[in-house]
Structure 1
Amino acid sequence: MTTRPAPPPRTVTVPVEGELDHESCEGLVREVTLHLAARPPVDMVRVDCAGMTLCDSMGLSALLQVRRDVDAAGRRLRLDHRPAHLDRLLHLTGTAEYLLADRPD
């Protein structure tokens, strides 16, 4: 019997450019949903926040939805290159621990 090495984890990065608000948040959720449905499956979704200039309550809601969807799919989520305004929002709203936590295996 020949054993094959496990394939490397598959990671996808979704960039956020500009404002994450009521006008753009559906696009983020839709893009992550498409990646979660892809074959071969994605192991980790990385949301690159380096280009984010603003995150309002709808943007926060979208990030929470992404977290729920990624967790439900059994994948991992990372919010990379978070600007200070996003970290401040996450801490003020009490969502930092939830959004930034690693999914338990």
Structure 2
Amino acid sequence: MSTDPGPGPRTVSVLVEGELDHESCEELVRAVTVHLAARPQVEVLRLDCAGMSLCDSMGLSALLQIRRDVDAAGGRLRLDHRPAHLDRLLHLTGTADYLLADRPDHA
């Protein structure tokens, strides 16, 4: 997992590589939490999922937590370069609309 400031001063990109599972999901959530705390002006958090080889239920839980944290910080979450297996998981679990929406409805 690596990070860079992204294309704009208010964008952070986090590269997600390998398996996002029970062994690695905490590290990703922690990295995002650190970025949001260090740069409260971040408007867009991009997770680059191109290198993700697997996402299990704990990985999905981590993505949902990250979405809630980014929303609470007033930012937007982008899941870039999603592999087919991640898209399938999001659609099968009914989480695609929430995780991929620009800003979810909180009605």
Distance in 1 of aligned mates of 2:72 and 2:20: 23
The alignment status of 1:16 with 2:10, answered yes or no, reads no
**Equivalent residue of 2:12, what SS?**
strand
Distance in 2 of aligned mates of 1:39 and 1:102: 20
Residue 52 (structure 2) aligns with: 52
Q: TM-score, normalised by structure 1?
A: 0.88
- Aligned residue type for 2:85: H
Residue 96 (structure 2) aligns with: 96
Structure 2 unmatched ranges of 5 or more? 1-7
Equivalenced residues, count: 97
Report if aligned partners of 2:40, 2:73 keep a CA contact under 8 Å in 1: no
Identity of aligned residues (%): 85
Q: TM-score, normalised by structure 2?
A: 0.86
Distance in 2 of aligned mates of 1:33 and 1:40: 10
Report if aligned partners of 1:47, 1:80 keep a CA contact under 8 Å in 2: yes
Distance in 2 of aligned mates of 1:39 and 1:87: 29
Q: Offset at 1:41?
A: 2.0
Residue 26 (structure 1) aligns with: 26
Distance in 2 of aligned mates of 1:64 and 1:49: 15
- Aligned residue type for 1:94: G
- Aligned residue type for 1:11: T
After superposition, what is the alpha-carbon deviation per residue over 1:41-100, rounded to whole angstroms, capped at 9, x for unaligned?
211100000000000000000000000000011111000000000000000000000000
Give the CA RMSD over aligned residues. Answer: 1.3
Q: Which consecutive aligned stretches of 4+ in structure 1 deviate over 3 angstroms post-superposition?
A: none
Distance in 2 of aligned mates of 1:84 and 1:13: 20
Structure 1 unmatched ranges of 5 or more? 1-7
Distance in 2 of aligned mates of 1:28 and 1:14: 9
